[in-house]
Amino acid sequence: MKNFEKKTLMKQQTAKRAAFTGALAAGLIMLPGMLGGTPALAQKQQKVGCGDLFYNGLITPTEAKTKPNKHGTVELDKVERVELDEAEQVARVYLKGQKQDAQPLRLCLLEQNAELISRLKENNVDFEEVSSANGRAAVGLLINLMWILPLVALMLLFLRRSTNASSQAMNFGKTRARFQMEAKTGVKFEDVAGIEEAKEELQEVVTFLKQPEKFTAVGARIPKGVLLVGPPGTGKTLLAKAIAGEAAVPFFSISGSEFVEMFVGVGASRVRDLFKKAKENAPCLIFIDEIDAVGRQRGAGIGGGNDEREQTLNQLLTEMDGFEGNTGIIIIAATNRPDVLDAALLRPGRFDRQVIVDAPDRKGRLEILQVHSRNKKIDPSVSLEVVARRTPGFTGADLANLLNEAAILTARRRKEAITQLEIDDAIDRLTIGLTLNPLLDSKKKRLIAYHEIGHALLSTLLKYSDPLNKVTIIPRSGGVGGFSQQILNEEMIDSGLYTKAWLQDNITMTLGGKAAEIEVFGEAEVTGGASNDLKVVTNLARKMITMYGMSNLGLVALETQNSDVFLGRDWVNRSEYSEEMAIKIDRQVRAMATTCYQEARRIIRENRALVDRLVDLLVEQETIEGEQFRKIVSEYTQLPEKQQLVVSG
């Protein structure tokens, strides 16, 4: 009924537009006639004074011997030819011997001109009847066309708009998925590196699309939906393109946000239309990027459970595993927030297989670097193995951006190939910030040097800390005056299994900058440069006590890994322990930070001469590499043997 009313309303609007256009057309057609006509009084005046001769002047006999003048007479024997224009009631008189470009004399005619014609015949004067009516008709037609053509164009514009409006209203609920009969993404599995486990699981999808009998012969059923889960930049969309490129089947791709509109029912209609087209082209692939935009948990928020997004999700659940099966349709979705997805979306029969696409390990990073370095000129001295070792935690997108930044720096420095220097500078630019102009030799520069030497010296002297890579006082964008960079323990970072000794040494090293400032400049000259260091210390100490059980409060997990408030779960972040326990936690955090801080001050105090020499060298060079730093430190003290931490999975 609603559709019928909508169609009726649209027809009425179209009829009104047509009536308005017709009235406008009629008015414009009549306007030229109203403006183009000549008033009767003007015609009369034109007829009275229309000639250079009186009527009887032309028929004056030759005996008059007069010369032609304005409203005068002319001899007939001097007339060569006469043109009679009955339409304008004018006679054009051409005299003998006049120039070709000279204008003829004009004579007003009467309604009956028998006497004039008779006299012209007696004197053997050539005359003929001409008419300007055809010329006037052509000019009038041209004037009318000048008004009618824009009018016709305007009418066509109105009709086209009304047609587009009706077609858009009818197609508003159609799917916006990009469709390719044979996906030519240009991406194969060989172009995807660093995520071999995910590629193996997704290879089954390609095999099922190409050879379904291989699975059906043994009664196996391929999962209807595959959910790619992982942090941003790990290659989820790239994997979907590789699947489409390998399978060579029809491919539908759409983003989750394209389902939801402000109008109720549009998202569900688009879901129905998408699966309808997919059934017509089965077997095929449907890729939904960022599915968390439409697949969030139902009942979240205060708007009730009947909003547009939830209706879209309900329709998606029905289409994926409803009463009617969708044979030959495989849905691949990607998200980096699987924790917010609705539970019904993840049950068996829908997205019953989750493929983790995590950040690559060192071997995976090396493979990714080899893929992205194919089309770049890299100096033979560059070791991609070293680059992979220096970039723990980098995703595939980060590594691609790293090589691109290195190529930009190479072009800016007018080099022919990318060297290790450009890659190191690109790593620092991505992880720390853009290089700024060096500081002048001043008190601020020496204060920053003491702060960074405090970090670097403790990372070298502490037994379980990560070794130093370099220390610099060249400022970076974002307010970074300098930094001390370590070579992180990749196995520990990737596994997340941190030892208590490593955490304590890391806290001590982080407090080394503030400890150096206190020991050298005193309490009165200490700065706020250690504010970020204190945040890191508090976070690490709190995790050791509340999550890792590394305190005397007992083996109890007092906090969860992710305590962010998610709309629809908890409006208030509920405390998981009592106020008395909170006081104990605060005391333990403060005690651990104080203990590590005292240890840092002791090491700085005992090696004050070494600190002063390193500061002088850093102020002079502005950057000290790790090997050079360790060599200088070994001249003053015995370096501890770094223990190799073996992490079991």
CB atoms within 10 A of CB 553: 16
Kindly give, in sequence order, each residue whose CB lies less than 8 Å from that of residue 527, ignoring residues fewer than 6 positions away.
447, 517
DSSP letters, 569-586, are: T-SS---SS-HHHHHHHH
> Residue 548: which of 592, 505, 488, 503 has the closest Cα?
503
Q: Is the pLDDT of residue 559 over 50?
A: yes
For residue 28, give both structure tokens.
């414009």
Q: What is the pLDDT of residue 404?
A: 93
Catalytic site residues?
452
Q: What is the pLDDT of residue 64?
A: 40
Q: Which residue has the higher pLDDT, 133 or 539?
A: 539
- Report the range of poorest mean pLDDT among 66-80, 169-183, 244-258, 479-493: 169-183
User: What helix, strand, coil percent values describe the chain, rounded to 5?
Assistant: 50, 10, 35
pLDDT mean over 261-279: 74
Q: How confident is the model at residue 407 (pLDDT cuts 50, 70, 90)?
A: very high
- Report the range of poorest mean pLDDT among 135-149, 431-445, 493-507, 525-539: 135-149
Q: Which residue has the higher pLDDT, 288 or 433?
A: 288
Partners of 492 in beta bridges: none
Q: Is the pLDDT of residue 369 over 50?
A: yes
Partners of 53 in beta bridges: 72, 107
Q: Is the pLDDT of residue 223 over 80?
A: no
Q: What is the pLDDT of residue 617?
A: 92
Q: Which residue has the higher pLDDT, 11 or 605?
A: 605
Q: Is the pLDDT of residue 433 over 70?
A: yes
List pLDDT tens digits, range 122-163.
777 777 777 665 556 666 667 766 777 777 787 777 777 655
Mean pLDDT of the chain: 76
Q: Is the pLDDT of residue 599 over 90?
A: yes
Q: Is the pLDDT of residue 215 over 80?
A: no
Q: Please check whether residue 642 is in contact with residue 463, taking contact to mean a CB–CB distance below 8 angstroms.
A: yes
Q: Which amino acid is at 566?
A: F
Q: Which residue has the higher pLDDT, 70 or 342?
A: 342
Q: What is the pLDDT of residue 139?
A: 67
DSSP letters, 108-154, are: E--S--HHHHHHHHHTT-EEEEE--HHHHHHHHHHHHHHHHHHHHHH
Q: What is the pLDDT of residue 414?
A: 92
Q: What is the pLDDT of residue 313?
A: 81
Q: What is the pLDDT of residue 477?
A: 77
Q: What is the pLDDT of residue 340?
A: 84
Name all domains of the chain by residue range, CATH numbers in brackets: 49-131 (3.30.720.210), 178-356 (3.40.50.300), 362-431 (1.10.8.60), 443-562+573-636 (1.20.58.760)
- Report the range of poorest mean pLDDT among 177-186, 259-268, 432-441: 177-186
Helix (H, G, I), strand (E, B) or coil at 225: strand
pLDDT mean over 447-460: 92
Report cis status (omega within 30 of 0) of the bond before 380: no
List pLDDT tens digits, range 1-50.
444 444 555 555 555 555 555 555 555 555 555 444 444 333 333 344 45
Q: What is the pLDDT of residue 79?
A: 76
List pLDDT tens digits, range 301-317.
544 445 677 777 888 88
Q: Please check whether residue 438 is in contact with residue 505, taking contact to mean a CB–CB distance below 8 angstroms.
A: no
Q: How confident is the model at residue 534 (pLDDT cuts 50, 70, 90)?
A: very high
Q: Please check whether residue 462 is in contact with residue 506, taking contact to mean a CB–CB distance below 8 angstroms.
A: no
pLDDT mean over 80-108: 75
- Please give the DSSP secondary-structure letter assigned to residue 107: E
Pairing state between β 225-229 and 329-335: parallel
Q: Please check whether residue 297 is in contact with residue 279, taking contact to mean a CB–CB distance below 8 angstroms.
A: no
pLDDT mean over 581-603: 92
Distances (CA, A) of 162 to 10, 151, 157, 171: 9, 17, 9, 14
Q: Which residue has the higher pLDDT, 230 or 648?
A: 230
Partners of 91 in beta bridges: 84, 107
Q: What is the pLDDT of residue 13?
A: 59
List pLDDT tens digits, range 622-644.
889 989 999 999 988 877 766 44
CA distance 601 to 607: 10
Residues of 463-478 as b/e, b for ≥16 C-beta within 10 angstroms? ebbbbbbbbbbbbbee
Q: How confident is the model at residue 572 (pLDDT cuts 50, 70, 90)?
A: very low
Q: Which residue has the higher pLDDT, 468 or 109?
A: 468
pLDDT mean over 151-179: 61
pLDDT mean over 323-352: 80
- Residue 303: exposure state from Cβ atoms within 10 A (0-12, 13-18, ≥19): exposed
Q: What is the pLDDT of residue 454?
A: 93
Q: Which residue has the higher pLDDT, 110 or 618?
A: 618
CB atoms within 10 A of CB 497: 14
